[in-house]
Structure 1
Amino acid sequence: MGKELVRYFRSFAVKLIAALVIFSIVPVLLVQRFDAAEREQGALLRHLAQEQGRLAGEALFPLLDTLTPRGTQRIDSTARRLAEGGLSIKVLFRPAVASGSFLLVASAPEDETGQGRGTMERLLSSGVLTSLDASCVGGRPLSLRLPGDEGGGEVLTYLAPYPRPTGCWVVITAQPSGPLAERLLGRRYWRVPEIQAAALIYAVMALLVLSIFTDAWTNLRRFRAVARAVVAGENRGSFADANRVPDLAEVAREFDIMVATLQRSEALIRQAAEENAHALKAPLAVIAQAIEPLRRDLPADSVSLRRSVELISLSVDRLDALVSTGRRIDETIASLVDCPRHRVGPSTLLAALGQGFARFAEERGLRFEIRVSLGLMVIGGTEQIEIIAENLIDNAFDFSPTGGVVTIEVRQAGSMAEIVVSDQGSGIPLDDLDTIFERYVSGRDGGDEHDGLGLWIVRRNAEAMGGRAWAANRPDGGLIVTVALPLAE
């Protein structure tokens, strides 16, 4: 389980999904943090601006008790002095006997009367003055932009009323348009050039990292498609043709070389097996033919000579069987080097194959039963599956007593298709259940017609197709051999 988890977390697909999730979550977290920081900064700046306006108002309040020409000049000069730090101050007065109109008493840093008049018009149009009722209630922070005459404008930050018996004084402070005013008005952080540049760099980095994973993952899937085509014996291009990543070009070429080498090795093994068998069988046939005249011309009373000729004849037959066995081994190995992997239906295949074995079983006094689950598909070669079935059935026939029952069953077990052959023979000792799948192991008594390769070939073919083979004794006597092959997707 631990190895499976490690293998799972090392896959490109999982890492690609993890990178995508990370690159999606990080901006969300940053946006949340930037929003919180922006709110905190805006609150702090508004508080500072309000305090600055409050202090300016308190500095002016002692001068607002009476409205005289001299007092107006003092108010104006004080307002200009307070505005030297970049603050904009406006002092308004509404006489108690007036009908509700405010008068602009002082406005700094404006110097011209026309600018003051424009300021009053903007205050009226913005609704700031109308928000003060008859009792001149106010005292609140503001975040209201007043456009300027030439597109500049300012942001009102504080309004402080000062009711007196003679009328209502109002001190309004403002910040000129600029970075501080933008923050007070809630300028979004994503409009800041530095933030935009950082976001662009992050997006490019995310696309770059994801493209690396995506290119590698898709390239490996193309490699897998080529590998499956090669195993299935289809000629659908090469690894080099399927490659799209320059850094993997050398790897793709090495894969092509490896495939070509395996295919050439398979052909050479088969060719060498045929040539060696032919080269060895020819002199053996000559020896066997040469023995016949000697056997006929031997004196009847020469027992030792006849015994020698018989030993030579038996040895020739044994050598001939060994040559056939060696050729069979080489052909089996060659088929494993380049094992085909097609979609094969073992149920249909073995149902048809079993009909021939049913007649053979009758001749030997046996009963042969076939039970198959239809519709199962595995990946492998038709010839390999036929060889598996033939060796298993032949082995079961040889060890079944007369009147016994041999059964072949094809069934599904999870993600595997199982070929199960059982007999009613004497079974196998527990210590030898795995040994019978080795080469040259045969439980038959005497004779050279059996080379002990049947079950060895069964296991080799099963493993070449991604499966396995094992044996077990039946509870009521006999042997069960099971071959499990992966089901096709």
Structure 2
Amino acid sequence: MTSNKSKTTPVSDTAGATAEPLGVRIARMWRSFSTRLMLLIAIFVAVPIAVYLQLRAADAQKAELLLDATREQGRVVAESLRPLLDQFSAATARNLGETLTRLVGPQIKIKVLLRPEGGSGPDSYFYVAAAPAVPVEYLKQERDRLIDSGVLAELRESCDTVLPSTARYTNPSGQDELLVSMTPLRSEAGCWVVMTSLSTSDLVGASLADPYWKAPEVRAALGIYILLAVSVMWLFFDGWRALRGFAARARTIRGGQRGSGSFAAETAVPELVSVAREFDALVARLHETADAIRFAAEENAHAFKTPIAVIAHSLEPLKRAVTNDLRAARSAERIEQATTRLLALVQAARRMDEAAAEMIDADAAPMDLADLVRGSCTAYAASLADNGLRVEFSTPESVRVNANPDALETVIENLVENAATFSPPGGCIRVALTARDGMAELMVLDDGPGVPESDLHHIFERYMSSRPASDATPGEAHFGIGLWIVHRNVTAFGGEVTARNREQGGLSVLIRFPTI
């Protein structure tokens, strides 16, 4: 029968969850820790790259200005030396060195080379003077290194083109120098070349020779930025880990492992301890509520059963006394049916209260579902044989799940009894337990008429029954809570239950639990 009493309708177990609107999904995705973590990582990666590219472009402009200034200084030095070079002789060689020393700054190095008239190729160049002054042997070695590096090969035979070549080479003392420019000058003695270079050990030379990321200020900024990023990510992950710990603790409590720990002991973040304590207080209050519901269900059932038993016992002499009075006998029969129905209502109310308590405080532990199915089906096979029904079952040797044996025994009883109610004489109830892909699957099949498609999505709701009123035996009560209790007990331990009509007739109910 279908009751018109108010009830709470859960999400259909066969139709699936209703698709959320796109705006709701986007909003949830935006609020997700994973989305914000990805955004945070993208910001931490993109910001320094964007800033670095801008600073590198500015540094390149600065380096270009320094190079131009240094080249210009080399050109000015070369023009200043032109009178001495045009009149160069052994007597003026000393004056050339002194003049170079006065003209160059502390960071710029000037070297003067001569290719005598008629000479060709890089081997024909000879060092004449240098500033700062260095030994003659040093100049010879440096000349050889310049020849090996191919720098002198860039000088043209015409000796009339300034070469703003930027080349890096290692001088005889083992230090790197940056060759900035080579300014050729023509005289009667031959082709003079004034070479301008910077030491990379100096600040200016290093800024021109090394990539921008090697600059000390860039490395210092990068170190500070990495420290800041690690601190922020550490804070983020610490909070995320604490929330995941809360979720794991909640799953443990929902699985029925009472006393397995507390939220406060789970978190290492001091700011979340007060939140964790509130969760612990809430869990304690839920346990107390579940215990109170169980106690009230037991007390109420006992309180109602006593007067009902008195009524039923007192009715027997009345039935014998009114045997000859048809009207009185009919009234006594109605009283007996009402008493039977009232007792069934008390039992149903107790079962509903116990199911509600299980939803709040499921007492779960590792158990062998295969052993429970075999025991229950063996007992029902014997009891239903008198009604002309067969019970066939198949199970693996062992299937371990985390649940409450009493609650799952009630699930099996309700499913088998429901199948027996709808099965015709000579029908067969098939129970099959399998384990695959980390899930235990319990399927119960019957040979009954099935469920109307309009009711199929509601059979796990409270007070829902698709049994026609004409099928009810007088005095027998069906309140439509059996499958509702199945649904409650299964979902209380993390399982799921679905139902569908079989093509060859009958109903198929599938229960799935995670295995351990």
TM-score by length of 2: 0.74
Identity %: 36
CA deviation profile, 1:30-54 (whole Å, cap 9, x unmatched): 7788778767765664454334313
Is the aligned partner of 1:54 residue 2:75? yes
Q: CA deviation at 1:392?
A: 1.3
Return closer, same or farther for 1:64/1:261 CA change in 2, 3 Å cut-off.
same
For 2:87 and 2:458, the matched residues in 1 are separated by 119
Is the aligned partner of 1:269 residue 2:293? yes
Return closer, same or farther for 1:448/1:454 CA change in 2, 3 Å cut-off.
farther
Q: Secondary structure at the match of 2:510?
A: strand
The residue number in structure 2 matching 1:285 is: 309
The residue number in structure 2 matching 1:225 is: 248
What amino acid sits opposite 2:348 in the alignment? T
2:474 to 447, 454, 464: 447
Q: Tell me, yes or no, if the aligned pair for 1:156 and 1:173 is still in contact at 8 Å.
A: yes
Q: CA deviation at 1:267?
A: 0.4
Return closer, same or farther for 1:119/1:25 CA change in 2, 3 Å cut-off.
farther
For 1:264 and 1:248, the matched residues in 2 are separated by 24
Q: CA deviation at 1:60?
A: 2.8
The residue number in structure 2 matching 1:463 is: 491
For 1:440 and 1:329, the matched residues in 2 are separated by 11
The residue number in structure 1 matching 2:142 is: 126
2:259 to 230, 235, 241: 235
Q: Secondary structure at the match of 1:277?
A: helix
Q: CA deviation at 1:414?
A: 7.0
Q: CA deviation at 1:358?
A: 1.8
Q: Secondary structure at the match of 1:450?
A: coil
CA deviation profile, 1:38-75 (whole Å, cap 9, x unmatched): 67765664454334313431343254222379977996
2:381 to 358, 362, 365: 358
Query: Which blocks of at least 5 consecutive residues in structure 1 are unaligned?
Result: 109-114
The residue number in structure 2 matching 1:199 is: 222
For 2:66 and 2:233, the matched residues in 1 are separated by 40
Q: Secondary structure at the match of 1:52?
A: helix
Alignment of structure 1 residues 362-381 onto 2, 5 Å: 362-372=385-395, 377-381=400-404
For 2:217 and 2:94, the matched residues in 1 are separated by 46
For 1:95 and 1:81, the matched residues in 2 are separated by 26
Return closer, same or farther for 1:222/1:204 CA change in 2, 3 Å cut-off.
same
Q: Tell me, yes or no, if the aligned pair for 1:465 and 1:485 is still in contact at 8 Å.
A: no
Query: Which blocks of at least 5 consecutive residues in structure 2 are unaligned?
Result: 1-18, 119-123
Q: CA deviation at 1:276?
A: 1.1
For 2:110 and 2:92, the matched residues in 1 are separated by 17
For 1:413 and 1:324, the matched residues in 2 are separated by 37
Q: CA deviation at 1:17?
A: 6.3
Return closer, same or farther for 1:168/1:353 CA change in 2, 3 Å cut-off.
same
For 1:217 and 1:253, the matched residues in 2 are separated by 18
Q: Tell me, yes or no, if the aligned pair for 2:390 and 2:426 is still in contact at 8 Å.
A: yes
Q: Tell me, yes or no, if the aligned pair for 1:93 and 1:167 is still in contact at 8 Å.
A: yes
Q: Tell me, yes or no, if the aligned pair for 1:12 and 1:213 is still in contact at 8 Å.
A: no
Alignment of structure 1 residues 273-422 onto 2, 5 Å: 273-292=297-316, 298=321, 308-372=331-395, 377-411=400-434, 417-422=440-445
For 1:74 and 1:216, the matched residues in 2 are separated by 75
CA deviation profile, 1:325-364 (whole Å, cap 9, x unmatched): 2112111211222124445554443233222222223222
Q: CA deviation at 1:83?
A: 4.3
Return closer, same or farther for 1:266/1:160 CA change in 2, 3 Å cut-off.
same
Q: CA deviation at 1:243?
A: 1.0
For 1:268 and 1:130, the matched residues in 2 are separated by 96
The residue number in structure 2 matching 1:183 is: 207
The residue number in structure 2 matching 1:432 is: 455
What amino acid sits opposite 2:222 in the alignment? A
The residue number in structure 2 matching 1:111 is: none
The residue number in structure 1 matching 2:11 is: none
The residue number in structure 2 matching 1:482 is: 509
Q: CA deviation at 1:9?
A: 7.3
For 2:113 and 2:29, the matched residues in 1 are separated by 75
For 1:362 and 1:157, the matched residues in 2 are separated by 106
CA deviation profile, 1:432-461 (whole Å, cap 9, x unmatched): 334544444552423334333222212222
Q: Secondary structure at the match of 2:87?
A: coil
Q: Tell me, yes or no, if the aligned pair for 1:147 and 1:154 is still in contact at 8 Å.
A: no
Return closer, same or farther for 1:103/1:394 CA change in 2, 3 Å cut-off.
closer
Return closer, same or farther for 1:68/1:342 CA change in 2, 3 Å cut-off.
same
Q: CA deviation at 1:233?
A: 1.9
Return closer, same or farther for 1:321/1:35 CA change in 2, 3 Å cut-off.
same
Alignment of structure 1 residues 44-123 onto 2, 5 Å: 45-46=66-67, 48-67=69-88, 82-83=103-104, 89=110, 103-104=128-129, 116=133, 118=134, 122-123=138-139
Is the aligned partner of 1:423 residue 2:446? yes
For 1:167 and 1:325, the matched residues in 2 are separated by 119
Q: CA deviation at 1:253?
A: 1.4
For 1:36 and 1:422, the matched residues in 2 are separated by 75
The residue number in structure 2 matching 1:260 is: 284
Q: Tell me, yes or no, if the aligned pair for 2:114 and 2:125 is still in contact at 8 Å.
A: no
Return closer, same or farther for 1:392/1:330 CA change in 2, 3 Å cut-off.
same
For 1:411 and 1:4, the matched residues in 2 are separated by 35
What amino acid sits opposite 2:454 in the alignment? D
Q: CA deviation at 1:317?
A: 3.4
- The 10-residue stretch of structure 1 (463-472 or 258-267) with the greater mean CA deviation from structure 2: 463-472
Paired positions, count: 473
For 2:362 and 2:236, the matched residues in 1 are separated by 32
Q: Secondary structure at the match of 1:481?
A: strand
Q: Secondary structure at the match of 1:484?
A: strand
